[in-house]
Structure 1
Amino acid sequence: MPKINAATVAEHRAQQRAALIRAAVDVLVEQGATAVTPAAVGARAGLARSSFYQYFPSAAALLAAIVEESFTAADAATAQALAEVGEPAARIDAFIRTELRIAAQGAHRPAKALMQAELPAECVARVHELHHQHYAPLQAALVDVTGDSAELTGQLVGGIVQAAMTAVEHGADPDHVADHALALLRNGL
């Protein structure tokens, strides 16, 4: 029987599952989606390949779990940042600053790597759906500020946010980048 390094079997299983996800994220970001195999992920996590299947039925299921967990964490951070903010312009500021803090932590790496991979259409559709849901609070704040519900405004602002995240991911200070991005947006809105 394998050694359990947790207070309960459930906690041990949660730790093992989390280790597999962390290992898969590393493999995904370093080598791409096709390298995320049960053998590679198990080896990176320090688990036998057969142990992989106790947690995920396939590499595709693991990739789906990565996507879901990444967006769940980002959504929680955004919800917390927006919880006390009522004024639309302040919601835009809070959303963008939170996105850049998340980018500085590397949390966008899995989604970015997956978007560059050749994935089945349903996986790509799910990533787009989660992305759209995640950006819904920003879109709502933009509508409140501009009175314009045009999706184009959201796409253009999203482009600025994406460029800001790329700068942060390349080492720029998140607060400095947020200040510049928000100055551009305030002048443009």
Structure 2
Amino acid sequence: MPKINAPTVAEHRARQREALVRAAIDILVSEGAAAVTPAAVGARAGLARSSVYQYFDSSAALLATITEEAFRRSNEALANAMAAANGPVERVEAFFRESLRLGAEGAHRPAAALMNAGLPPACQERLMGLHLEQVEPFRAAVRHIGVPDPALTADLMAGMLHTALAAVDRGVPLHTVTERTLALVRRCLAPADSTVGERREDH
């Protein structure tokens, strides 16, 4: 009987599955989706391929699990950050701040790699659905603020977040990117009359 490195068999299996998911994500980010195979994942996790098949029966199953896990972990962190904020503007700021923190940790890289992996249509559809679920609390907060054309405003702000994440990836300090991005977020969400006042003061 294989050695159980946990208090219970269930916990042992959970730990092995987690190790396999981490290994699969590492391979995805560093080598691409085509490299995510049961053999490669097992080797990276230090488990025999036969052990991998107890949890994942194919490369497709591994990629499907990575897709779900990549968003689940980030969504939990984003939900907790936004729940602690008071008011819609603060929730938007919390979404940006936490997204950038997660980005600095590399949490967005599995999803980004999957987006560019040429997945089958069903997987691409699921990936897009998960992305929309992730950004909906942010978009809802923007709608609640009452800015003009909230859908377009949210789209433009999402583009700004994408650019900010790219800056973090390039090595710009997280604090610098976060503070500058939040300053721009506040300007985007400021009432129209206050924005006009700022322009007048600038002149």
Tell me how far 1:150 sits from its aligned partner.
4.4
The amino acid that maps onto 1:142 is: V
Give yes or no for contact 1:38–1:49 (8 Å, CA) kept in 2.
yes
Match of 2:198? none
- Report matched runs for 1:45-124 at 5 Å: 45-124=45-124
Deviation at 1:69, TM superposition (A): 1.2
Following superposition, the deviation at residue 63 of structure 1 comes to 1.0
Taking the aligned partners of 1:152 and 1:179, their CA distance within structure 2 comes to 23
Name the counterpart of 1:34.
34
Gaps of 5+ in 1: none
RMSD: 1.4
- Aligned partner of 1:103: which letter? G
Choose between structure 1 and 2 for higher RCO, CA contacts under 8 A separated by at least 6 residues: 1
Runs of 5+ consecutive residues of structure 2 not aligned to the other structure: 190-203
TM-score by length of 2: 0.88
Q: Distance in 1 between matches of 2:170 and 2:5?
A: 37
- Distance in 1 (alpha carbons) for counterparts of 2:143 and 2:175: 25
CA distance in 2, matches of 1:60, 1:114: 12
Q: Which has the larger radius of gyration?
A: 2
- Counterpart AA for 2:154: G
Instruction: Give the TM-score of the pair, scaled to structure 1.
Output: 0.94
- Residue pair 2:143, 2:151 contacting (<8 A) in 1 also: no
Residue by residue over 1:111-150, the C-alpha shift from the partner in whole angstroms, topping out at 9 and shown as x without a partner, is 0111111100111111111111110111011112244454
Give the Cα separation in 2 of the matches to 1:83 and 1:118: 35
- Structure 1 residue runs of 4 or more that deviate by more than 6 Å after TM superposition: none
In structure 2, distance between residues paired with 1:174 and 1:150? 27
State the alpha-carbon separation in 2 of the partners of residues 21 and 171 from structure 1: 27
Q: Whole-Å Cα distance in 1 between the matches of residues 168 and 145 of structure 2? A: 26
Deviation readout 1:147-179 (Å, 9 max, x if unpaired) = 445432222111111111121223222222111
Whichever residue aligns with residue 24 of structure 1, its letter is A
**SS of the residue 1:181 aligns to:** helix
Aligned to 1:5: 5
CA distance in 1, matches of 2:61, 2:73: 18
Question: Secondary structure of the residue that 1:3 maps to in structure 2?
Answer: coil
% identity of equivalent residues = 53
Q: What is the SS of the residue equivalent to 1:143?
A: helix
| Alpha-carbon displacement from aligned partner over 1:59-114 (angstroms, at most 9, x marks no partner) | 11111111111211111111111113231111111110000111111111110111
